[in-house]
Structures are given as structure tokens and as C-alpha cells.
Amino acid sequence: MIDLFLAAADSAVHGSTGGGVKFDTTIIMALLRLGLSMGFITTGVFFVFAGTLGVLRLPDFFSRIHAAGMTDTLGVELILLGLMLQAGFSLLSLKFLLVAFFLLLTSPTATHAMANAAYHGGLKPKLGRYKSPDIDTLRGYGEAK
Amino acid sequence: MEQLTEYFNLSAAFFLIITMMLMLGRLIAGPSLYDRLLAVNSFGTKIVIFLCLFCMIIDRPDGVDIAILYALMNFIATIAVLKFFRYRSLDLPLDGSFAEAKNAEGEL
């Protein structure tokens, strides 16, 4: 990484004799690809983690399915986009594209089928405002009275 | 540069494993059956991503084919389990065309 920056600075210094600052475009492109793929993968892992926290913490099956379906679809696509940037223009990149395409098709369909089956199977969603528990009961003060 | 991407992919795979372990909590503690099915489906999606990352880490691109297969099988398994719990049988088509075909055969 540091070598790359040094090489870029070196090429800029040596290229400036011809007038103006010239950069080696292949190094710049490699750095850009690396940074973009890292950003995509970081964002994707964040979304997958947020979806899992939603599945763990939300109070209802229908809200849980909303958290899992939406964030998983977005996070998976972002991670696969980052991996495609790392793999470059090759057969491996095409395979990643295939995985992304299938997941983009199947993940919302499976979510919809699950919600439909649960609703027709008799599971009703919780309606109304969410009432948080009283802070005194949480601390145990409510039991003393 | 190669080492940097490798370490980065390793850390991403590590976070994915933590996420999968958290998802196991919903699988164990899910109050209804559909919660467990949701956990299994989400776990399978995470396995697909983990396989893709792992193939990039160990630099063997063969495993991505397994990831494609796993993505398709995950969807089919979810739909099959849902259909089984709705209709209590797997050979019943969802749109009723099977019964219509049987009726047509009987008339002939």
C-alpha cells in the first residue's frame, strides 16, 4: 500500500520534467479499485449486521421479516459488488454477477412467500403503538410498593 | 496490496461469522415456526456470501459455483418447507392445475 503511494509520487515527480504533473494511470486505477471495493464490502457487512440485529431485537414476526429481507438484499448486493471489483474483468467476476442476480431475484420472493404463508397460517401482526415498559418496574422499584 | 485485500476479506468474513452466530439465537429462541424459517433463510444467504469471500481469500475460484448452487437450493428449500406447512403435502401444485388435469383425464 505504502509502496503504491511512493510509486505514484515517484512517477509524478519524474514525469513532471516534461511539463505538468503526470500520474501513472494504472497505479491510480488500482488504488481506486481497492478503495471502492473496501468501501462497498464495509457498507455491505454493516447492512447485514444491522439486519441480524433487527431480526434479534424487533418485537414481531412481520417487522423481523422486514428487517431481514430488506437489509440482507442490499448488504449482499454491496458485498458482491465489492468482490467483483476485486476480481477484475474475468470469469470469476461473471460468477459473482450470477450469484448477485439469483439472490436479487430469490431473496424478496422468499420473504414475500414467508410473509404470505405466515399471514394465512394465522399469525397476526401486532398493531398499535409500541409501549415501552416502565422504568421503575425495570429497576425493580415497582415491586416494593 | 494483495496482502491488504486478503486481510480485509478475512476481517469481513470474521464479522460475517459473528453475524451468523447472532442469527442462530433467533433460530433457537424463535417463538413461532416462521421465525425459525426466516432465520434459516437468512443464515443460508450469509453462507453464500461467506463462500464467495472465502474463495477470494484462499484464491481458488472453484467454490463460487457451490455458492451459486447454494443460493438456488436455499430458495427452493424455503418455498418447499413453506408449502409443506401450508398444505401438509408436497405433491400438491399451488395453482390447482394438477386437479384440473386429473379432471380432464377422467372425462376422457
Question: pLDDT tens, B67-100?
Answer: 999 999 999 999 999 888 877 777 766 565 655 5
Q: Are B48 and B67 in contact (CB under 8 A)?
A: yes
Residue A26 has pLDDT above 60, yes or no: yes
Best to test chain A binding among B38, B51, B94 (most A CBs inside 10 Å): B38
Closest chain A residue to B12 measured between Cα atoms? Answer: A45
Q: How many domains does chain B have?
A: 1
Look at residue A11 and tell me if it is in a domain: no
Look at residue A115 and tell me if it is in a domain: yes
Domain range for B25 is 2-107
Amino acid at B8: F
Q: How many domains does chain A have?
A: 1
Domain range for A108 is 37-124
The per-residue pLDDT for A145 is: 44
Residues in chain A closer than 8 A to B16 (CB atoms): 45, 48
Amino acid at B62: D
Closest chain B residue to A98 measured between Cα atoms? Answer: B68
Query: pLDDT per residue over B7-52, tens digit each?
Result: 999 999 999 999 999 999 999 987 888 999 999 999 999 999 999 9
Q: Looking at the partner chain, which of B5, B49, B71 has a beta carbon nearest the beta carbon of A106? A: B71
Averaged pLDDT for residues A12-26: 60
Question: How far apart, in Å, are the Cα atoms of A91 and each of A1, A46, A82, A85?
Answer: 26, 28, 16, 13
Look at residue A77 and tell me if it is in a domain: yes
Look at residue A113 and tell me if it is in a domain: yes
For chain B, give the DSSP string: -HHHHHHHHHHHHHHHHHHHHHHHHHHHH-SSHHHHHHHHHHHHHHHHHHHHHHHHHHT-TTHHHHHHHHHHHHHHHHHHHHHHHHHS-SSS-TTSHHHHHHHHHHH-
Q: Give me chain A's average pLDDT, please.
A: 82
Residues in chain B closer than 8 A to A117 (CB atoms): 34, 82, 85-86
Q: How many angstroms away from the CA of A80 is the closest CA of chain B? A: 8
Query: pLDDT per residue over A72-116, tens digit each?
Result: 889 999 999 999 999 888 899 999 999 999 999 999 999 999 999
Query: pLDDT per residue over A30-42, tens digit each?
Result: 888 889 999 999 9
The per-residue pLDDT for B36 is: 92
* Contact between chains at A72 and B22 (C-beta distance less than 8 A): no
Q: Per this entry, what is the length of chain A? A: 145
The per-residue pLDDT for B107 is: 45
Closest to B50 (Cα-Cα) out of B69, B60, B63, B37 = B63
Look at residue A44 and tell me if it is in a domain: yes
SS (H, E, C) chain A: CHHHHHHHHHHHHHHHHHCCCCCCHHHHHHHHHHHHHHHHHHHHHHHHHHHHHHHHHCCCHHHHHHHHHHHHHHHHHHHHHHHHHHHCCCHHHHHHHHHHHHHHHHHHHHHHHHHHHHHHCCCCCCCCCCCCCCHHHHHCHHHCC
